[in-house]
Structure 1
Amino acid sequence: MTFLLVLLSIAILVLLIVWAKLNPFLAFLIASISAGFLLGLPADQIAGSVQKGMGNLLGDLVIVIVMGAMLGKLVAESGAAQQIAGTLMKIFGEKYITWAMSLTGLIVGIPLFYNVGFVLLVPLAFTVAYQYKISAVYVGIPLLAALSVTHGFLPPHPSPAALVAQFEANMGLTLFYGFIIAIPTIIIAGPIFARTLKNIEAKPLKTFQAETKPEEQLPGKENSFFTALLPVFLLVGTTALSLNTPEESPFAKLIGFISNPGIVMLISVLVATYTLGLRRKFSMPQLMDIYTIATKDIAMILLIVAGAGALKQIFTDTGVSQVIAESLQTWDIHPLILAWIITAIIRVCVGSATVAGLTTAGIIAPLVTTMNVDPNLLVLSIGAGSLMFSHFNDAGFWMYKEFFNVSIKDTIKSWSLMETLVAVIGLAGVLILDLFV
């Protein structure tokens, strides 16, 4: 009966988003309150449980997500993203253009949120396709595969960052494992898969052509790469140091402070404020305006994350999460595969990778303590499942179709299949890595 009530709660969430077209944050709130009543939580405790869940999850994430948005916006506005893309094009040349696009998506996708990265980089792909007279789909899919992988697998993107917080995983290790899985996933779903798409005709609208800056107005190559990748350097570097520093060492506490994801992102934004901002003659008011706009861009993401925290807390306070975890232990299926399946089903039903990942987290969280599963790999397994088969209910599906100006059929053959490849290959990578860690 408990399973049926949980499924009914999730069905309410899915119907509110897909059928009623309700904003996901409102849908989460209504589904959370409904779940509280259905699962027998006293009426006077439901509001408090919702507030506690929202506060607990956002408390860990606000700094990471907001600072990530600020950094990504500055990387875009300063021309650093254009510099990175142009540099990689020159290095790889026409023959390996799809590899250059994949690497561009991976590097620029780390600090940029998916929608921002899409809008920023897809016009660059159109410019490249026009320059070399090749299919825009052939050039664009490797770029989008990389953006999808960073969105689903790598902190500080909202879903993986939230999952790290919920499972009490190590963000540095998750990022390290994520890179190990991301590289082969991008290669197969990007350049290799793109070879089958050369004959898809795309006529990108002129509206979406890139407004490129003159080269003399761009920041330097070293500055662009260093600033965009600084969060990665700090997270991986401090994780490596912490693993090799004795706990009694006087440096251990300092390393622990610096390795905190919020501190990492704060340091990165402050460095970028100088290297891509003040040093390049941006005024402080200009930079603050950029940061304000960036914060507005991700406000809804924060609310969706908060809503997911509310649903998770309802499941926790009613004891349902523990009941589900104990029941799942009797299933003859690997917990990493189970997490992937649940996430994939919700993703196909709802359309949002973030909603799918965070909803699954509320159901699966108790497995971290009751079963022998690595929380870092659980984050990546759910991240992979959250990218499964994007179709009509996903905004990304329609963005791709309209930007590339292709048919529904060709959108499914290219975009939807690419997302499915990322999900399946990502799971395979997680399971292989599970054999060694």
Structure 2
Amino acid sequence: MPLIVLTLGIVLLFLLIIVFKLNAFLSLILSAIFVGVFQGMEPLTIVKSIESGLGGTLGHLAIIIGLGAIFGKIISEGGGAHRIARSLINNFGEKRVGWAICLASFVLGIILFFEVTFILLIPIVYTVAVEARVKLLKVGIPFLAAISITHCFLPPHPGPTAISSVLGANLGVVLAYGLILAIPASVIFGPLFSRLYKNWDVEVPDHLVTKAEFNMDEVPSFATCVLTTLSPVILILIGVIAEYTLPKTSTIYKILTFIGNADISLLISLFIAVYVFGLRKKRKTIPQLMKIAEEALISMGGIIFILGGGGAFKQVIIDSGMADYIAHFTSGWNISPFILAWIIACIIRLAVGSATVTVLTTSAMMSPVVQKTGVSPELMVLAIGTASIAFAPPSDVSFWMTKEYFNLTIGQTIKTVCLMFTLIAIYGLLGVLALSTVIG
């Protein structure tokens, strides 16, 4: 039975890492092979799935993580993250820094993909934790809650947008309903939820944080630091506006959508940071800046391979036909359309790992149900979207990103991130059911 094979594969993964102390990348590859073999895949097909999954994941993430790491490191080494962190602490107070991070993450999370927001803000999260002398999870949990909630509830994120397209939902209405649920969720699962971990001694990873002392008279102003940090956001916004307002055949459209691409916007922003925190006023020379870039890339090497291993594991699960099996398995269930969609999405998410596969498979299955029952397609978007982040299983890159960046063990990751994402999914379903009683 496919679900038994998958369960054994995940158990094997944990055993290899926790009991046998194998490297996470090697463990993911071995677990992927195990699942492929016992699912009856041809040996060479397993290899191709691993290559495809690793390449597909890193093709999406490697450029963002690489450029984002250099961008963040230059801002941190130039005192920018320190300046922003101190301003947040001074304005909100050390006791409320979690709220400050949650607010900043929510605003950026509305317009940026999960991975981009994560990479852009993580240096500031680290610096705030160090400067405010608080445990990393006090600011880390609100940060993760805000960017994950916006990712699953709010267009223009790819999940809600893709589901809306399949179900014929109005994006504006989805956004309105999503905000009704997302704002309270960010408070509950951000600053409030982080209190559960106030005694956890999780420290900022030494190799990922800047501990230099800065003469604040030589650091660029707060406004300059914020504008430089937000420059990728501004460029991406320009691209989004061009996408919806300009003729697609025009030259200006092609230029603006090009610079608004996440990869290109980070590349441009990197050179802005090089000027602002380096060449301007001769703060640093090119060799010094490139030394910082080299250190940033070296620190990311292990993380990138682990994320690639997660992508390989996910792809083998997908190519083994797991999603099709689940679709057939749940086809005869007779319950509320919203609950049915949520359960199907949760099962696919746990089995496959990929949020994209989860939302596309579930929305395709639920499209005729929405048409037949007449339930709100906008609420169905939220029911599926919120389930797409449930569990944060080890076959999803979010599991490994949070584990590595937040210096957590496997067990700690399950007790924090996996628990939080699952509770957000449950909250989302309850919120959809509550709204459905009012909206119909």
TM-score (normalizing by structure 1): 0.68
Name the counterpart of 2:44.
Answer: 44
Alignment partners' CA distance in 1, 2:145 and 2:57: 23
Say whether the 8 Å CA contact 1:315–1:363 is kept in structure 2. Answer: no
Aligned counterpart in structure 2 of residue 143 of structure 1, from 123, 139, 142: 139
Alignment partners' CA distance in 1, 2:107 and 2:279: 23
| Structure 1 stretches lacking a partner, 5+ long | 127-135, 156-162, 347-355, 389-393, 402-410
Against the structure 1 CA distance between its residues 209 and 259, is the aligned structure 2 distance closer, same or farther, given a 3 Å change threshold?
A: closer
Alignment partners' CA distance in 1, 2:422 and 2:340: 17
* Counterpart secondary structure, 1:217: coil
Name the counterpart of 1:367.
Answer: 362
How many Å apart are 1:83 and its aligned residue?
A: 0.7
Say whether the 8 Å CA contact 2:163–2:363 is kept in structure 1. Answer: no
How many Å apart are 1:197 and its aligned residue?
A: 9.2
- What are the within-5 Å matches in structure 2 for residues 210-359 of structure 1? 212-280=213-281, 281-330=283-332, 332=335, 333-336=339-342, 338-340=344-346
Say whether the 8 Å CA contact 2:53–2:315 is kept in structure 1. Answer: yes
| Structure 2 stretches lacking a partner, 5+ long | 109-115, 152-156, 165-170, 368-376, 395-401
* Counterpart secondary structure, 2:217: helix
How many Å apart are 1:225 and its aligned residue?
A: 0.7
* Counterpart secondary structure, 2:41: coil
How many Å apart are 1:99 and its aligned residue?
A: 3.6
* Counterpart secondary structure, 1:41: coil
Instruction: Give the number of equivalent residue pairs.
Output: 385
Say whether the 8 Å CA contact 2:101–2:143 is kept in structure 1. Answer: no
How many Å apart are 1:40 and its aligned residue?
A: 1.3
Name the counterpart of 1:132.
Answer: none
Say whether the 8 Å CA contact 2:32–2:313 is kept in structure 1. Answer: yes
Alignment partners' CA distance in 2, 1:195 and 1:43: 48
1:26-77 Cα deviation digits (max 9, x unpaired): 1111011112211112223332332222222222222112112112212221
Say whether the 8 Å CA contact 1:164–1:376 is kept in structure 2. Answer: no
How many Å apart are 1:425 and its aligned residue?
A: 4.0
Against the structure 1 CA distance between its residues 425 and 93, is the aligned structure 2 distance closer, same or farther, given a 3 Å change threshold?
A: same
* Counterpart secondary structure, 1:144: helix
Against the structure 1 CA distance between its residues 12 and 376, is the aligned structure 2 distance closer, same or farther, given a 3 Å change threshold?
A: farther
Alignment partners' CA distance in 2, 1:102 and 1:33: 39
TM-score (normalizing by structure 2): 0.68
Letter in 2 for 1:5: V
Say whether the 8 Å CA contact 2:232–2:269 is kept in structure 1. Answer: yes
RMSD: 4.9
Against the structure 1 CA distance between its residues 287 and 9, is the aligned structure 2 distance closer, same or farther, given a 3 Å change threshold?
A: same
Say whether the 8 Å CA contact 1:104–1:143 is kept in structure 2. Answer: no
Name the counterpart of 2:86.
Answer: 86
Percentage of pairs with the same residue: 27
How many Å apart are 1:271 and its aligned residue?
A: 1.9
Alignment partners' CA distance in 1, 2:322 and 2:145: 32
Against the structure 1 CA distance between its residues 33 and 98, is the aligned structure 2 distance closer, same or farther, given a 3 Å change threshold?
A: closer
How many Å apart are 1:253 and its aligned residue?
A: 3.3
Say whether the 8 Å CA contact 2:228–2:269 is kept in structure 1. Answer: yes
Alignment partners' CA distance in 2, 1:5 and 1:201: 34
* Counterpart secondary structure, 1:215: coil
Letter in 2 for 1:149: A
Name the counterpart of 1:60.
Answer: 60
How many Å apart are 1:367 and its aligned residue?
A: 3.4
Letter in 2 for 1:124: E
